Amino acid sequence: MKSRIFILIGPPGAGKGTQAKNIANLKDFVLISTGDLLRENVEKKTELGITAKSYMDKGELVPTELVARMIKANIKQNIGRNGFLFDGFPRDLAQNALLSEMLKEFNLDVDKVIYIDVKDEAIHERLTNRRICPKCKKVYHMKYNPPKHGELCDDCNVSLIIRDDDKIDVIKKRLEVYHKSTQPLVDYFEKSGRITKINGERTPKEVEGEIISNI
């Protein structure tokens, strides 16, 4: 069976990570999330993670060569599965060219790109109100999904934290980088006719339903 390839793109804070995990489970896809891969390396303080963190903390993109090796190994390990869902890669035209070359080695190509569209103002509200449990990694939103007791995790009873890349100055930088690097990629996929735009400013279930109907 030939694996199908799907790419999920959108601005930081658009909900790509949550949607990608849910859809991968529902459709039995292999999830390739560069964000998760990089955060795992940061937490384990691997050589790759230490280098990557210096970029992530400033809101800059992690150099492609630091993640390409992990991605290729993941594809090789899971070739023949129902499909692959990419979250966080490619982020620009150069990464897309690299991904195309990788996929050719496995006789694969991109089937569909899903673009979750969220305005900058909504992104700021989402990210500045996001809190993470440092122990169980559960995600809260202080306005829409607050913890039951102050800023303590409901399950672990430990103080929630703000991710370094959710701070206001870093959010601004992340959005600047996104518009400069990723918008040309969106334009490229629009010309190829393989992209579907989805309004990401609705409930997660509504967004999920539309993504499912388009893959």
Q: Which of 4, 53, 130, 131 is catalytic?
A: 130
Active site residue 16: yes
Rounded to the nearest angstrom, the gap between the alpha carbon of residue 158 and the centroid of all alpha carbons in its chain is 26
Q: State the Cα–Cα distance between residues 16 and 125, nearest whole angstrom.
A: 16
Active site residue 39: no
Q: State the Cα–Cα distance between residues 152 and 155, nearest whole angstrom.
A: 9
Active site residue 174: yes
Q: Which of 4, 91, 126, 131 is catalytic?
A: 91
In sequence order, what DSSP letters do the residues of 109-144 get, joined into one string? ---EEEEEE--HHHHHHHHHTEEE-TTT--EEETTT
Q: Which of 4, 16, 126, 131 is catalytic?
A: 16
At a CB cut-off of 8 Å and minimum separation 6, what does 105 contact? none
Q: State the Cα–Cα distance between residues 78 and 144, nearest whole angstrom.
A: 37
* Contact indicator for 113, 189 with CB cutoff of 8 Å: yes
Q: Which two tokens stand for residue 39?
A: 């955060």
Cα Rg of the chain, angstroms: 17
**Helix (H), strand (E) counts: the chain:** 9, 7
Active site residue 130: yes
Active site residue 91: yes
Q: Which of 27, 163, 173, 202 is catalytic?
A: 163
Catalytic residue IDs:
16, 91, 130, 163, 174
